[in-house]
Structure 1
Amino acid sequence: MRCRSRVWSSTAAVVLGGLLAAGCGGEQKDTADEENAGKAVSGAYPVSVTDCTGAETTFAKAPGKIVTSNASSLELLLRLGAGDKVIGTGFPPGEGTLPADLDARARKVKVLSDTVIPKEKLLGSGADLYIDTFAAMDMGAGTGDAPTEEAFKAAGIKHIYLKSTACAAQSKSAVTDLSAVEADITSLGAVTGTGAKAKRLVAGMREKVDAVQKAVGSTAENERPTYFFFDFDAGTKQPFVVCNRQVANAVITLAGARNAFADCDGDYRQVGWEDVIAKNPDWIQLGVRNRGSEAANDKAFDEAERWLKSDSATKGLTAVKEGHFLRIGSEQTTIAGVENADTVETIAETLYPGKVN
């Protein structure tokens, strides 16, 4: 029986970037996922994947009609070459927010909801697979409760999670590498019969991360700069910080930095600016969500930097005084996906100039 954690954030900016959703509890049992690694490239079936508690979902053949909960799981399917099987999505990507080669294909996917897909619409979608990027939650906003596993079964819909995000909050240890992201890509490749592409995507990620680790991985912990992810779109009154169960912690760690809030157990937490001041980070990432164009993104980055330089609580921070800002989008840092590896590379190049090629 799958756990059904029901958490919903009313903060729109956080919803768009990460949906402060609690993951399923319990130890993960990845026997089925390990078997997928062998079946993925060959396209062999049956294929079984597990949820956060180890419960298995088995596929006798590739699904033909897929619905995704949001843009991140949709993007992974597009990258795998399985986008033609997606018949609908919630939380669609904004126009221009995906790489150009994916954006046109994403525009063709039917939008079932601009936010969480209402239960009745999801169950009546005709899908044979629903991919949850996050753990189950209270739908809120008049959309009713999330469907039960029994309701999914009655509708003929298999329901699986991306464990790199859905299970993260209740993990028993800090997330310091991208193995869970790679496992999700491999599992989706196995399920959709695109295992060869999944293997290439994972290999590309590992090549970038391994190069960074070779260059800066041996840097002593006390010599690594401290790093603060400033989620500008979540609001400036009280910052939301990424904790040690969030994929951003792995991105920051692999890049040779120290997440300023790595001592925070969980995925996200709202803190006070006095907590950030106490950390006094060496570097600050201006976490801005993609606005759909380079000009709009630059404007948002400018606004975030200007706020930090003008606010009485933050203008005295070491990173602010020294102009140690990184202009890297939120999505590729906090949403599990292929671009996490690119962000590792970008951060390392900035923090260790000349060391990372």
Structure 2
Amino acid sequence: MRPRVVCGIAAAVALFATACGSGGGGSSDQGTPAAAGTAAPAAAYPVKVADCMGKETTVTKAPTKIVTSNAASLELLLRLGAGDRVIGTGFPPGKGTLPADLADQGAKVPVLGDKTIPKEKLLGSGADLYLDTFSAMPIMGGGATGPSEQEFAAAGIQHVFLLSTACAGTPKAAKAPRTDLAEIENDIRRLGAVTGTAARAEELVTGMEKQIGEVRTALAGVPDAQRPSYFVFDFDAGTKQPVSVCGRQIANAVITQAGARNVFADCDADFKPGSWEDVVAKNPDWIQLAVRNRGSEEATRKAFDDAEAFLKGFPATQGLKAVQEGHFVRVGSEVTTIAGVRNADAVRQIAATIHPTLVKNGQ
């Protein structure tokens, strides 16, 4: 499954090539970056953080030279005001994909690898901390494996994970479907503690919770059984075999908070290969056209148009309820499937589309 999915949503998890195609960089007030280089008081350390297996790393002082595995990690550091400490990244952000207020600073970060950073380059980067979105996902670099924990230690690099994404496909991941953004918020707080930007992290989380709370309040009177069923169509993975976004994936939480029911929430994974027969059997009320940002509004709009045209013209899907009723959600795959502040924007945008009388204009 993994080698195929890397072409679509899982590639978005790696590449983080875009923001929401219909909403640009997101409009929530938590997006404004704090002053760069915010330092932590000495009393904030040591900070203990765990990996997906529960093994702890102790950070004794604020890192000054950080390398990020991809643009998702990079964006979080930029939002926290620690962007001036990032000395390199893998999977760099694509053109026009970071929010406008972060784009210039993000573009200045050296690219150490167009995909996964080569092992030797990462170990020789001079970093004192490596922020990893992926955990053990060798296919992200075309088959190469990253440094061992012993090699990281020998190079003086502390290895910290974004647990909400790195752990989703591991045996340690929670078996129950993910229904809220608590793990993403915990990642932001954890990263704030590690980088000495805890106050800014709390501001970001508060902004997310305010936005999601407004949606939750607006939808409080809608019983679970009356919430529409929802399918995420990963157009960029190809059209021969659809990919199921399962219960462990961040998107399941986004969909749930937006007042819908993911039709594949019961599959115990993050992503899983599916079939059009499965989708037809579910007959979703709404379909998200999950495409990656193409670098411009015009190109991204065309990608949404192409995804919609496929569903309308494909014999297996043209009779689906959502297709017949034109119930399409144009929200990009990145803000739905990758951990970050903009997950809250996706909740708002999806809710405003499928519950327009309750959540007007995203408010």
TM over 0.5: yes
Match for residue 98 of structure 1? 98
Q: Deviation at 1:220?
A: 1.6
Change beyond 3 A, Cα 1:288–1:172: same
The aligned counterpart of 1:294 is 297
Separation in 2 of the partners of 1:163 and 1:144? 21
Matches within 5 A, 1:125-140: 125-138=125-138
- How does 1:1-357 map onto structure 2 within 5 Å? 11-18=6-13, 44-138=44-138, 144-169=144-169, 170-356=173-359, 357=363
State the Cα deviation string for residues 238-262 of structure 1 (Å, max 9, x = none): 0112100000000000111000111
Distance 2:190 2:284 in 1: 37
Q: TM-score when scaled to structure 2?
A: 0.87
8 Å contact from structure 2 (residues 244, 274) kept in 1: yes
Q: Which amino acid aligns with 1:181?
A: I
CA deviations over 1:167-188 (Å, ceiling 9, x no partner):
1223222110000000000011
Pick closer, same or farther for the CA change 1:163–1:230 going to 2, 3 Å: same
Q: SS in structure 2 opposite 1:12? A: coil
C-alpha contact (below 8 Å) 2:14/2:91 kept by paired residues: no
Partners of 1:50 and 1:56 within 8 A in 2: yes
Q: What is the CA-CA distance between 1:18 and the residue it aligns to? A: 2.5
| One-letter amino acid matched to 1:74 | L
Task: Report the AA paired with residue 104 of structure 1.
Answer: D
For structure 2, which runs of at least 5 residues remain unmatched after alignment?
A: 16-39
Query: Do 1:16 and 1:91's aligned partners in 2 also have CA atoms closer than 8 Å?
Result: no
CA distance in 2, matches of 1:99, 1:199: 20
Deviation, 1:318, is: 0.4
* Distance in 1 of aligned mates of 2:41 and 2:354: 37
Structure 1 residues 113, 315: CA separation in 2 closer, same or farther (over 3 Å shift)?
same
Question: In the alignment, what sits opposite 2:35?
Answer: none
Q: Amino acid of the residue matched to residue 62 of structure 2?
A: A
- In structure 2, the CA distance between the partners of 1:337 and 1:192, relative to structure 1 (3 Å rule), is same
Give the aligned residue type for 1:11.
V
- Report deviation, 1:319: 0.3
Query: 270-279 vs 52-61, which deviates more?
Result: 52-61
Per-residue deviation, 1:138: 2.5
Q: Residue type of the partner of 1:120?
A: E
8 Å Cα contact 1:41/1:194 also seen in 2: no
SS at match of 1:49: strand
Give the match's secondary structure for 1:198: helix
How far apart, CA to CA, are the structure 1 residues paired with 2:199 and 2:95? Answer: 29
RMSD of equivalent CA atoms? 1.9
- Structure with more contact order per residue of length (Cα contacts < 8 Å, sep ≥ 6): 2
- CA distance, structure 2, for counterparts of residue 100 and residue 238 of structure 1: 35
Report the residue type matching 2:228 in the other structure. Answer: P
Retained in 2: the 8 A contact 1:286–1:325?
Answer: yes
Q: What amino acid sits opposite 2:317 in the alignment?
A: T
What is the deviation of 1:49?
Answer: 1.1
**C-alpha displacement of 1:8:** 5.9
Q: Secondary structure of the equivalent of 1:172?
A: coil
- Cα distance, 1:142 vs. partner? 6.9
Structure 1 consecutive aligned stretches of length 4 or more whose deviation exceeds 2 Å: 7-16, 40-43, 137-145, 169-172
Alpha-carbon distance in structure 1 between the residues aligned to 2:328 and 2:11: 23
- Note the C-alpha offset of 1:145: 2.6
Deviations 1:140-190 (A, max 9, x none): 767743211000000000001100011122322211000000000001111
Figure out how many residues of one structure are paired with residues of the other and give that number.
332
CA distance in 1: counterparts of 2:310 and 2:158, whole angstroms: 46
Specify the alignment match of 1:28 in structure 2. Answer: none
Question: Hey, what does 1:33 align to over in structure 2?
Answer: none
